[in-house]
Structure 1
Amino acid sequence: MKSIKKITGLTQEEMSSYLRINRSQWSMYVCGKRTLPIEATKKLSNLLKYLQKNEAKDNLTELYSKNQQLIQDEVVKKINDLEIISLYINRKINDLKNNLEILNSTINTLEYLKSETKREELLITVLEKRIIKMKTIYSLKNLNDLEMKKKNIELELEYMRDVKKGL
């Protein structure tokens, strides 16, 4: 249990002056050898009730402050996560664009090979099969989907950064 001095912050001299009793009376009360006069008991009771209410307010303020810190930590974590996802999506978009360029180049090469008088039939067949496979993997629809994800992540990042500024 906290001492009355820790609760009030008053020395024995200050407390006895506040309660309008002798310092020795206060000292004996603290040791449990004496009771306080009724008026001093009332004043002490009122003081302790007030301090108890204030302590509850301080506890709420501290709890609110800790809660704000937790929220801010969560927002920062969410921003970091979104930035990582954004980097990943950008890399996927770049990879897909590169592969679409390769696909386009492969199609152009195939067209050239087909136009030759002396055709390389085996190579043409291999390229046709690869192009079919590449078209299923590297489509403009996939690129569009990734671009949409990128936009959504950017919007969410912007929102979270605004939230962070408001904290």
Structure 2
Amino acid sequence: MAKQPGNVGVAGLFANGGDAFAKLSDQVYTMYLTLVAKEMYFIPSTTTTLNSEARTWQKRLWMSEPAAHILAVGLLVLAVAAAIIQVAHARLRAPVTLAHDPGTLATALALASGHEHMPDARVVLSKRRFRIDPTTGRLVEEGQKGFEDAWSPDPRQTSFLVR
């Protein structure tokens, strides 16, 4: 279309930023799609009637009402039983006192020091100092290699050291 008489040619279409070429391409492509659609969809019909089938939407997921009610009652019974167990267990664990936060080395040592074969932890550890090695995360005792490079936690940031 650009080379047809009266047009500016292909080089002329790109002279002013190429906007003219984009418009011409859009026009040609739209014409092409129109012709293809006419050939594909507008076919002369040999029959005068079209067969069709009417369908209704059916639910793919269904729930039985008795089953849903039984499940709801079962979950309610489970919740009540869990609450009763929680209250009963709270009475049983009330006398248990942990010297430090659960899951720490201090708690493990405190629980072990109460054993009859282990001396009191305060006596054993009273004259020892420990630090944490920042590269490996292991405890380093004073006098061991790496004690100078290790650091101690700030007591204001760790509540179990302040007690």
Say which structure is richer in helix. 1
TM-score class, shorter: under 0.3
